[in-house]
């Protein structure tokens, strides 16, 4: 229900459901963490799958917004030197960062996760924790897909005329 209200309030395009999913995952992580800590330390109750649940939620919280952060230039960085550079110089720096650094790094990461993901699917890998949640192979697959998506988006953005300018036709 909270997710639907969040989507209705937001006024931006078709990715609103991803923001809502990420927000729901954050709320789920916080609530789950409080309950799990209370059960473990107040009532001496605990289950291995509970820790896996927190790990899975944290993974979704971190990985879901990565492509959006890249697309909208919302990353956290210190722009002390870049404020003095003219816009064309900044665009060259951004292009070098996107095509020369991020794209090769994410391509390498995606390529190197393929054998791990194949093996994980072959055995339908479960949690590394005894008694943990099943479906660890899905987490590994999503990690590989995130790497691939970041590689593709960084390449496309780096090839655009103005990588981060908004409101201009490319």
Question: pLDDT tens-digit profile of 86-117?
Answer: 888 888 888 998 999 999 999 999 999 999 99
d(CA 60, CA 38): 23
Tens digits of per-residue pLDDT, 117-142? 999 999 998 888 888 889 899 999 99
Residue 37's contacts (CB-CB under 8 Å, 6 or more residues apart) are none
- Better-scored residue on pLDDT, 11 or 113: 113
Predicted pLDDT at 168:
47
Residue 122 pLDDT: 94
Contact status, residue 6 vs residue 19, Cβ threshold 8 Å: yes
Two tokens, residue 35: 């309950």
Report the share of the chain in percent with pLDDT over 70. Answer: 84
Closest CA to 68 of 5, 22, 128: 22
Rounded Cα–Cα distance for residues 29 and 36 (Å): 10
Write down the pTM of the prediction.
0.77
pLDDT at res. 68: 80
């Amino acid at each position: 229900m909270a997710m639907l209200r969040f989507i209705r309030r937001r006024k931006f395009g078709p990715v609103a459901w991803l923001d809502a999913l990420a927000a729901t995952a954050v709320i789920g992580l916080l609530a789950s963490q409080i309950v799990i800590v209370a059960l473990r330390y107040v009532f001496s109750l605990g289950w291995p799958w509970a820790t896996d649940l927190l790990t899975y939620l944290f993974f979704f919280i971190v990985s879901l917004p990565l492509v959006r952060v890249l697309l909208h230039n919302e990353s956290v960085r210190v722009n002390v030197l870049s404020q003095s550079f003219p816009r064309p110089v900044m665009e060259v720096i951004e292009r070098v960062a996107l095509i020369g650094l991020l794209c090769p790094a994410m391509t390498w990461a995606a390529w190197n996760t393929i054998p791990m993901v194949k093996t994980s699917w072959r055995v339908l890998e479960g949690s590394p924790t005894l008694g943990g949640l099943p479906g660890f192979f899905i987490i590994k697959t999503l990690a590989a897909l995130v790497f691939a998506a970041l590689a593709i988006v960084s390449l496309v953005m780096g090839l655009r005329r103005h990588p981060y300018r908004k409101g201009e036709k490319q």
